[in-house]
Chains A and B, each alone.
Chain A
Amino acid sequence: MKISISQSLAKLILLFGFLFQFLSIPVFSQDRELLGAGATFPYVLYSKMFDAYYKQTNVKVNYQSIGSGGGIRQLKEKTVDFGASDAFLSDEQLREFDSPVLHIPTCLGAVVITYNLPGNPQLKLTPDVIADIFLGKIKKWNDPRITNLNPGINLPNLNITVVHRSDGSGTTFVFTDYLSKVSNEWAQKVGRGTSVAWPVGLGGKGNEGVTGLVKQIPGAVGYVELIYAKQNKLPQALVKNKSGKFINPELSSISAAGKTKIPDDTRISITDTDAEDGYPISSFTWILVYKEQNYKGRSLERAKQLVKLLWWIVHEGQAYTEPLDYAKLPGEVVKKAEKIIKSITYNGKPVYQEVGIK
């Protein structure tokens, strides 16, 4: 009897030993891994980039696309190494962080208006029509305001079903930022934000969710990132820009939208761009990190891995953008990004020199 009890005790200790072994692994492995979370828009690019990065450097980057709002909050709560967002933080938002946050642009993207109509013709839309569709004021596809813009296209007498994001999202920010710039009514009634109180429509989770719903519902209209529309062979509307041209969302017109004056911290909205050939619903997407990397007991090694990764993303990583329908960073912006990455510190000392970046 006695022996068997001590035996079971030994088993228990063994079990706990086993558990502690699990716990002890991080000591020598945690710096080969980085965790990021946020925007769904660059998810496809990031998953490709990080897969390639793992093969080159053996560093695992776990990126979960939980939405830009989530990325911002998880960075604030310091549960991740970096957040990712399609919306830059406002001055007010930045003040909510207890330590300065840097924005590193990684690529450009565009929000496209996509729809599900018989034959999926390519529609032309003007800013006011887009705003009124999403305000619920234009209810039918054969509304004269749509048909007048699209002579020769036979639009059905079909209800318009608006599909929007159900989660906090940078895509939503870019889109509502655009609508707020072009429509006073939108700016007053709804405003801009990563999630807003939608006047009409139903919500899908993620770019994926919205794409899925638009694909499934005849008469649906939604806004998604270009790549999601392209990969799913959904139609994209031409949108009239500030200079009066109807612009097709494509890599060249998106890059063109970025050819304006960029501030040093890269926090700029390029929606409703002045650029003549620029697609008006374009935006940078950013990775967000803390400027001072020594927080919550982080190791210098982890900070170094992060700086290396960021440097790689704005240089070698850019090669993965265009094959996946993301627009490359313009050279001028890469220079600005370099400067920002170099300003990352650990205990007040720049990290970049320690990883061999000049």
Chain B
Amino acid sequence: MQSYTFRIAKSKIISVILTLVTLVSTIPFLLVLYFIVKNGISVINWEFITHLPTPVGEPGGGILNALVGTVILIFIALILSVPFGVLVGIFLAEKSGSKISFFVRMMSEILQGVPSIVVGIIAYLWVVKPMGHFSALSGGVALGIMMLPVIIKSTEEILKLIPVEIKEASLALGVPYYKTILRVMLPAGLSGILSGILAGIARIAGETAPLLFTAFGNPFLNFNILKPISAMSLLIFNYAISPYEDWWAKAWGASCILVFFVLTLNVITRIISSRK
């Protein structure tokens, strides 16, 4: 048997080593941030966010098409997935014991794990092929499918956290069931649902794979959801693999904007959910 002091020392040393290893594991994140900011920040200016891209080799130009595209895609995804997801979430919270809800919950978890590239194929098969052309709508459908499980889960979880007494009190007062859910339970759980929506946006804002063969890209400004549309992530991908330094710089600038947008959303969601 080792002496007690030796064991104490060993325990201390291990704790120091483990803490150091943890610190080391944060290096990649810090490196990525540093790299993006270093290369991207100098590119970002007023023209960059308010102008359309110029042809290769011509100076100036910006990424307005991609900024607008990402906003529209997120908007479509929200319209498609929030009402649907909240309803499924209510179903799961209200009928949590039933057999169907077991399968529904499982399906939601399966959807959560479906690789984004597969979601892209599905949106291509379901929207692009029948419609006969690429469109912002098909990209929005793909992103909506990706967002759905996040919203279902956050709705279910927040509703389950609300004390059952509140619901019972409302029902006892003669408020109909649907009103109890919509006017009492949902408002009580609003912050949770909102943070779920934000987390959902954070998940899809930078997605590229589902957009490759749906939203397709567009060098012009487009507000029509039946037309191909650009997105920040698509633009970064196309510019990143190009051989032009000018385009690389633009991709860094776009990365910088995108990463800070997504990280801010992530931090906000975490703050909201840790308050719960």
User: Is B160's CB within 8 Å of the partner chain A?
Assistant: no
Chain B residue nearest to A323 (CB atoms) is B57
User: Is B10's CB within 8 Å of the partner chain A?
Assistant: no
B243 lies within 8 A of A231 (CB): yes
Select A26's contact among B57, B128, B224, beta carbons within 8 Å.
B224
A212 lies within 8 A of B243 (CB): yes
Q: A47-B55, A62-B217 are in contact. List 18 more A-B contacts (CB 8 A).
A: A1-B179, A1-B183, A22-B224, A22-B226, A25-B223, A25-B224, A29-B224, A35-B133, A44-B56, A54-B220, A60-B220, A62-B218, A77-B132, A79-B128, A80-B133, A209-B241, A231-B244, A232-B243
Flag the segment in A122-130, A152-160, A200-208, A279-287 that touches B.
Answer: A200-208
Q: Closest CB-CB distance, B102 to chain A, in whole Å?
A: 31
Q: Closest CB-CB distance, B64 to chain A, in whole Å?
A: 14
Give 11 CB contacts A-B under 8 Å: A19-B225, A33-B220, A33-B227, A35-B133, A54-B220, A62-B217, A62-B227, A63-B219, A79-B133, A206-B242, A231-B56
User: Is B228's CB within 8 Å of the partner chain A?
Assistant: yes
Q: Closest CB-CB distance, B99 to chain A, in whole Å?
A: 32
User: Is A3's CB within 8 Å of the partner chain B?
Assistant: no
Chain A residue nearest to B237 (CB atoms) is A205
A208 lies within 8 A of B242 (CB): yes
User: Is A183's CB within 8 Å of the partner chain B?
Assistant: no
Measured as residues with beta carbon below 8 angstroms from the partner, the interface class of chain A is: 35 or more
Chain B residue nearest to A37 (CB atoms) is B216
Q: Shortest 6 CB-CB distances between A and B: which pairs? A: A211-B243, A208-B242, A48-B55, A47-B55, A60-B220, A79-B133
B55 lies within 8 A of A212 (CB): no
Q: Closest CB-CB distance, A234 to chain B, in whole Å?
A: 9
User: Is A217's CB within 8 Å of the partner chain B?
Assistant: no
Residues of A within 8 A of B223 (CB): 22, 25
User: Is A78's CB within 8 Å of the partner chain B?
Assistant: yes
B56 lies within 8 A of A228 (CB): no
Q: Closest CB-CB distance, B245 to chain A, in whole Å?
A: 9
Residues facing A in B48-64 (CB within 8 A) are 54-57
Chain B residue nearest to A296 (CB atoms) is B132
Residues of B within 8 A of A47 (CB): 55-56, 219
User: Is A215's CB within 8 Å of the partner chain B?
Assistant: yes
A19 lies within 8 A of B79 (CB): yes
A residues near B (Cβ < 8 Å) are: 1, 15, 19, 22-23, 25-26, 29-30, 33, 35, 37, 44, 47-48, 51, 54, 60, 62-64, 77-80, 204-209, 211-212, 215, 228, 231-232, 296
A215 lies within 8 A of B228 (CB): no
B179 lies within 8 A of A64 (CB): no
B242 lies within 8 A of A212 (CB): yes
Residues facing A in B80-139 (CB within 8 A) are 128-129, 132-134
Residues of A within 8 A of B218 (CB): 62
Chain A residue nearest to B243 (CB atoms) is A211
Residues of A within 8 A of B134 (CB): 35, 79
| Bound-complex Cα distance A62 to B220 (A) | 7
| Bound-complex Cα distance A22 to B183 (A) | 31
Residues of B within 8 A of A208 (CB): 241-244
- Given A22-B224, A47-B56, A64-B228, is A78 in contact with B132 using a C-beta cutoff of 8 Å? yes
- Given A22-B224, A47-B55, is A64 in contact with B243 using a C-beta cutoff of 8 Å? no
Q: Closest CB-CB distance, A9 to chain B, in whole Å?
A: 12
Chain B residue nearest to A54 (CB atoms) is B220
| Bound-complex Cα distance A33 to B219 (A) | 12
| Bound-complex Cα distance A228 to B247 (A) | 14
Residues of B within 8 A of A80 (CB): 133
B241 lies within 8 A of A205 (CB): yes
- Given A44-B56, A47-B219, is A215 in contact with B243 using a C-beta cutoff of 8 Å? yes
A51 lies within 8 A of B55 (CB): yes
A64 lies within 8 A of B224 (CB): no
B56 lies within 8 A of A26 (CB): no
Chain A residue nearest to B72 (CB atoms) is A22
| Bound-complex Cα distance A287 to B56 (A) | 21
Residues of A within 8 A of B55 (CB): 44, 47-48, 51
Select B241's contact among A64, A204, A232, beta carbons within 8 Å.
A204
A79 lies within 8 A of B132 (CB): yes
| Bound-complex Cα distance A269 to B218 (A) | 32
| Bound-complex Cα distance A30 to B226 (A) | 10
Residues of A within 8 A of B219 (CB): 47, 62-63
Q: Closest CB-CB distance, A193 to chain B, in whole Å?
A: 21
B242 lies within 8 A of A64 (CB): no
Residues of B within 8 A of A231 (CB): 56-57, 243-244
B241 lies within 8 A of A35 (CB): no
| Bound-complex Cα distance A23 to B134 (A) | 14
| Bound-complex Cα distance A259 to B218 (A) | 37
| Bound-complex Cα distance A12 to B223 (A) | 21
| Bound-complex Cα distance A215 to B243 (A) | 9
Q: Closest CB-CB distance, A148 to chain B, in whole Å?
A: 32
| Bound-complex Cα distance A22 to B137 (A) | 11
A212 lies within 8 A of B241 (CB): yes
Residues of B within 8 A of A207 (CB): 243
| Bound-complex Cα distance A203 to B227 (A) | 31
| Bound-complex Cα distance A209 to B219 (A) | 20
Most B-side CB within 10 Å, residue of A35, A62, A205: A62
Residues of A within 8 A of B216 (CB): 37, 64
Residues of B within 8 A of A78 (CB): 132
| Bound-complex Cα distance A277 to B220 (A) | 42
Residues of B within 8 A of A44 (CB): 55-57
Chain B residue nearest to A48 (CB atoms) is B55
Residues of A within 8 A of B133 (CB): 35, 79-80
